[in-house]
Structure 1
Amino acid sequence: MAVIVALSAFVMTLVGGWTAQRVTDRRHLVLGLAGGLMLGVVGLDLLPEALEAAGGEVHGVPAALLLFVAGFLAAHIMEHLLARRQAAHGAEEGASGGRAPEVGLTAASAMVGHSLMDGMAIGAAFQIGGGMGTAVALAVIAHDFADGFNTYTITRLYGNARRKALMMLFADAAAPVVGAASTLLFTIPEQLLGCYLGFFGGVLLYLAAAEILPEAHHEHPARSTLLCTVAGVAFIWLVVGIAG
């Protein structure tokens, strides 16, 4: 049952990626919406889950928050190291605006990892009971639209070819199905899952705040772009509220 439900997440992820492709003539609106979706996912979904699941404190600070900060710093350091390496090889600024394509692929890979965890969450919830499984599945299916949208947008934003963006999109779409199927064999300890979510949340926040939103407002500092960002956050809030 969990695998069958995860197939709906597969479809919803592809719909999100397709939407991101179709509105390329309004790139600033796409980026504004993507930034809002990512901000909403981090603040309203990932971080609360991480704090609840990770438990424990390290020197007076919740472990999930420490890993959240570590994820933010890791993304910041990685981007600068890759950018310096790119400059050392004589890369010139082009369509990617001087960004290292590897950063986009790494971020998209993290999205795939998150979707894999989503699938495992569906499987684990169905092991508890049908009602719990349905509630978790609805939440995952709803926000997988945002996952697909963000996976394609992030990959393309950093100058990767459309072929690579589609490859990462399909990997992200398949991940929940694989994750759900894996729960037939084993489960991830809740504390480890919480730590992962905290770290991943930090990475996403960096990409949203330091890259995607500034890019969205760079050439088109329009009110419509800001409204798209707010709409993205509101959408995730609605999804979290319905799931709760």
Structure 2
Amino acid sequence: MPILLSLAAFLMTLLGGLVADRIGKHRHLVLGAAAGVMLGVVAFDLLPEALAHNSLNVHGVPLSMLMFALAFLGIHIVERSMGMHTAHEGDYAMHRHTRAGVGLTAGAALVLHSFLDGAAIGAAYQTDASLAVAVAIGVIAHDFTDGFNTYTITSLYGNARRRALTLLTLDALAPVTGAVLTSLIAIPSGILEAYLGLFAGFLLYLATSDILPEAHTARHATGWTLTATVLGTLFMWGVIGMTG
């Protein structure tokens, strides 16, 4: 049963990525919606889950929130350092290569997140079958946006379409793998909360520093781009509210 449930997540993830791939001339709307969805994932899903698993405080601060700040500052420092090397053509080529690496890193983080989603389905099934179904509904509902974001982020940072589709495929397979391996792999609570905080900081930085500015500097960017961002956030609120 966990494997069957995770297969639904597999299909939904692929669908989300393929939708992002097909919306060409409306790229600014895709980016605006992706930023809103990412904000919703961070605010309504990742951080609350991280705090729910809180088992360790570091100098009075939950470990997850410390990792959240470190991830945000870390990627900011890396990007500011990259911006210092744009004066010459060779430096620009290196800059583009490094940005592509950022896209791949973000895509890989989303793949890991999807793996943990699948692991949650398997772990819930070991407790109660009805609980597994409830968890799976939540996973399936937001896996569309996971696939959407995986493709959008990977391609935004200069990676070829084939590479973005490869990351999308890995993201779709991840929940199935997680569900299968749950009985063999137990994720310690401390590691889970640290990862959730780290991922939340990473996503929030990409959404606010890169994706939103890119969306609003597009030639065809209009008030609809802002509307897409708001709707993306509200969509995730609705999803989390129905499945939480």
Matched, 1:23 2:23: yes
Q: Which runs of 5+ in 1 are unaligned?
A: none
Cα contact 1:15–1:148 (8 A) shared by 2: yes
* Equivalent-residue separation in structure 2 for 1:6 and 1:38 (angstroms): 22
Deviation at 1:87, TM superposition (A): 6.9
The verdict on how the C-alpha distance between 1:243 and 1:90 changes in structure 2, with shifts beyond 3 A counting, is same
Cα contact 2:46–2:200 (8 A) shared by 1: yes
Q: Which moved more, 1:96-105 or 1:1-10?
A: 96-105
Cα contact 1:54–1:195 (8 A) shared by 2: no
- TM-score normalised by structure 1 residue count: 0.93
Matched, 1:228 2:223: no
Give the equivalent residue in structure 1 for 2:7: 7
Cα contact 1:83–1:99 (8 A) shared by 2: no
* Equivalent-residue separation in structure 1 for 2:148 and 2:17 (angstroms): 4
* Equivalent-residue separation in structure 2 for 1:108 and 1:166 (angstroms): 11
Letter in 2 for 1:47: L
Matched, 1:202 2:175: no
CA deviation digits over 1:86-123, x for unaligned, max 9?
A: 87771547xx9897211111111111111111111111
Identity of aligned residues (%): 53
RMSD, aligned CA: 2.0
Give the equivalent residue in structure 1 for 2:181: 182
Deviation at 1:221, TM superposition (A): 4.2
Partner of 1:90, secondary structure, is: helix
The verdict on how the C-alpha distance between 1:226 and 1:185 changes in structure 2, with shifts beyond 3 A counting, is same
Deviation at 1:24, TM superposition (A): 1.4
Cα contact 1:82–1:103 (8 A) shared by 2: no
* Equivalent-residue separation in structure 2 for 1:19 and 1:99 (angstroms): 27
Q: Which runs of 5+ in 2 are unaligned?
A: none
Deviation at 1:212, TM superposition (A): 0.3
- TM-score normalised by structure 2 residue count: 0.93
Give the equivalent residue in structure 1 for 2:172: 173
* Equivalent-residue separation in structure 2 for 1:62 and 1:174 (angstroms): 32
Deviation at 1:155, TM superposition (A): 0.8
Deviation at 1:78, TM superposition (A): 3.2
* Equivalent-residue separation in structure 2 for 1:31 and 1:145 (angstroms): 15
* Equivalent-residue separation in structure 2 for 1:187 and 1:126 (angstroms): 14
